[in-house]
Amino acid sequence: MNEALFFHAGCPVCVAAEQQFIHALDPEKYAVEVVHLGEQKDRIVQAERYGVKSVPALVIEGQPFHINFGAALADLK
Amino acid sequence: MNEALFFHAGCPVCVAAEQQFIHALDPEKYAVEVVHLGEQKDRIVQAERYGVKSVPALVIEGQPFHINFGAALADLK
């Protein structure tokens, strides 16, 4: 099982869409952890280490994918 | 089986990453069609109808998700 991380900042407009997106991933391949960076600011460092520049972003096997364009990480600090 | 459409414009840097992304989708839920809009300009209209503004973009069940930020559709015409 590979790790997938979904970083977001709680944008209410996006939550439904993001949920759909996460559920589209192959459950036999990926265990998805959802991280709300607004509530877990200590994990912003982790997101940055993966190359995440904005949220929502999905990290699959260490590779960041920025989805749409939401908030810059710098604005969450 | 639901339809998923992946619109791109052949950006060579992104192809590997995009392939990984497509393969992360649940194959039991989605049949993914990959559309190269640089080569199939007649499908730009379809992409726009789904609300796609830039490529690469993934449309899942009619909902567009813009991945990273590549090329604006306007630049492909």
Q: Which residue has the tokens 């990273």?
A: B68
Q: What is the ipTM of this complex?
A: 0.72
Are A17 and B65 in contact (CB < 8 Å)?
A: yes
- pLDDT tens for chain A, 77 residues long, are 788 999 988 876 567 677 788 889 999 999 999 999 999 999 999 999 999 988 888 999 888 888 876 667 777 77
pLDDT in tens, chain B (77 residues): 788 999 988 876 567 677 788 889 999 999 999 999 999 999 999 999 999 988 888 999 888 888 876 667 777 77
Q: CA B24 to CA B18: how far, in whole Å? A: 10
List the single residue in B25, B61, B63 with the smallest CB-CB distance to A26: B25
CA distance B26 to A52: 24
Which of chain B's residues have a Cβ under 8 Å away from the Cβ of A24?
A: 4, 25-26, 29-30, 60
Q: How far is CA A72 from CA A32, A67, B1, B19, in A?
A: 22, 12, 35, 26
Subunit contact A65:B21, Cβ cutoff 8 A = yes
- B12: cis peptide before it, omega within 30°? no
As given in the structure block, the two tokens for residue B72 are 């604006």
